[in-house]
Amino acid sequence: MSKVITSREEDYSQWYNDIIIKAGLADYSAVRGCMVIKPYGFALWENMRDQLDKRFKETGHQNAYFPLFIPKSFLSKEAAHVEGFAKECAVVTHYRLKNDPDGNGIIVDPDAKLEEELIVRPTSETIIWNTYKTWIQSYRDLPLLINQWANVVRWEMRTRLFLRTTEFLWQEGHTAHATSQEAIEETIQMLNVYAEFAEEWMAMPVIKGVKSVNERFAGAEDTYCIEALMQDGKALQAGTSHFLGQNFAKAFDVKFSDKENKLDYVWATSWGVSTRLIGALVMAHSDDDGLVLPPKLAPIQVVIVPIFKGEEQKNAIDEKVHSLQKELKQLGISVKYDDDDSRRPGWKFAEYEMKGVPVRIAIGARDLEKNVVEVARRDTKTKETVSLDGLAGNIQNLLNDIQDNIYNKAQSYLNNNITEADTWDEFLQLLEEKGGFVSAHWDGKAETEEKIKELSKATIRCIPLDNKQEDGKCILTGEPSKERVLFARAY
């Protein structure tokens, strides 16, 4: 663990913000709680999005788009849902401005008040289920497997770049099924899509589990999640997949006729991941020198920095670099040749390290004579002199090594930070001094969970899937328990 990453929260927050801003991923904007995602950050998001989108389509889903605005009455149709979101909704009340008659600029025109207020979607279940009602009549219309890429707004009290902003980008899948079992299978399938994406692409190991009742999505029967561990010892929910039962079908009266012409409500799921994944990526791998990006998602996988004096040397380097660039591109590697003469090599080295570019190649006149280049890897910060012959292939292997290495590093960090606690004192001490996940017995009661949260600031992150069954006593109440659950302080 690097030196800035300490248990003191302010330091870690500072470090996190600095990295995001200095690496050029995002910045604060003029609007409270909203951020500007800069081109480099957006390129990263596009890479994530493309890969996820591909998996959604491979699993039979289609993309569509639903409105930003939700009539207020829709939101109140599902009781638990409205209760969960009511406190953080932005509301549109008027549709027109006018010049202030007193000359103080522009004001909301009081005559342009909406009959029914519109809610800026905090999530789209309601508007989508209102639409599904007209799309679904028969079992032949099922399953309905839709995803949308969209922005949503949740008026949170406190915000943090990528982790919790007022507006954020995400995808939300909303499916309808004929049977409960099929819907549950879909829920778990999508959870697995997320887990595989986190592990294989983000190089971020996650724990798959199910949420306790307290932490469950508003309106769901069951919320499955992937939980990741950040380098400061706090947990982060990286994705969720909900089994909604028939709650929304009943609220929006979505019924279908089955093969026996029997009428029944459909079974639903919804699942989503957001730009929060970028925050997760930053906190999972970065170090004091900046971002460390997994090669599979890095917008720039290889950067080439020339080192030269004068036109002649530059031309000779250009020639070599152009053919190398071509070879790398043929292997599907994204490469940037930074021959901007207004920045010195040292500046560029530091800059691309900050941006987390996995591999840097430096090439100068001295190297050309020996037919070599200097290859530096971001994850270990090691440098090697490598022959230009067969370089492209070697770089490809190196990128794979880096992907594996940062995954393994994160994996061993996770393994070393899941600790069992059997007494309340031990539990508190672990949270305070070590952090990470604490695996402990819990009596299964919501009020106990609430009490634990109050006393320790830790929440139940999840009950892991395929959890080992063992008899024990609740960490707080001493009541009997038959399995351990994972607690942590979380973002």
364 scored as a contact of RNA (CB under 7 A): yes
349 scored as a contact of RNA (CB under 7 A): yes
Select the span of 63-71, 199-207, 271-279, 408-416 touching RNA (CB under 7 A): 271-279
Question: Please, which residue, 249 or 307, has the CB nearer to RNA?
Answer: 307
237 scored as a contact of RNA (CB under 7 A): yes
Residue 419: its H or E element = strand 418-420
241 scored as a contact of RNA (CB under 7 A): no
**Angle, alpha carbons 50-51-57 (nearest 5°):** 85
CB neighbour list of residue 281: distance below 8 Å, 6 or more residues apart: 44, 202, 204, 293, 294, 297
Alpha helices in 357-438 (DSSP H): 365-370, 391-416, 424-429
List 176, 249, 251, 307, residue binding RNA (CB under 7 A): 307
With beta carbons less than 8 A apart as the criterion, state whether 476 and 452 touch.
yes
Backbone angles phi, psi at 306, to 5 degrees: -85, 145
CB neighbour list of residue 185: distance below 8 Å, 6 or more residues apart: none
How many residues touch RNA under the rule CB under 7 A: the total is 58
Residues in the chain: 491
CA distance 335 to 96: 49
DSSP letters for 311-365? HHHHHHHHHHHHHHHHHHHHTT--EEE---TTS-HHHHHHHHHHTT-SEEEEEEH
Residue 414's alpha-carbon distances to 163, 408, 417, 435, in angstroms, are 20, 10, 5, 11
Smallest separation (angstroms) from RNA to the CB of 41: 14
Smallest separation (angstroms) from RNA to the CB of 374: 4
List 39, 60, 67, 346, residue binding RNA (CB under 7 A): 346
Site for RNA in 430-449 (CB under 7 A): none
- Give which of 337, 317, 315 is closest to 326, Cα–Cα: 337
Select the span of 62-70, 180-188, 252-260, 364-372 touching RNA (CB under 7 A): 364-372
Site for RNA in 197-226 (CB under 7 A): 215, 217
350 scored as a contact of RNA (CB under 7 A): yes
Site for RNA in 35-74 (CB under 7 A): none
List 42, 45, 129, 168, residue binding RNA (CB under 7 A): 168
Question: Please, which residue, 386 or 418, has the CB nearer to RNA?
Answer: 386
User: What does the binding site for RNA look like in residue numbers (CB under 7 A)?
Assistant: 9-10, 13, 22, 28, 32, 84, 87-88, 154, 156-160, 163-166, 168, 170, 215, 217, 237, 240, 272, 274-276, 289, 307-309, 341, 344-347, 349-351, 353-354, 360, 362-367, 373-374, 376, 381, 383, 457, 490-491
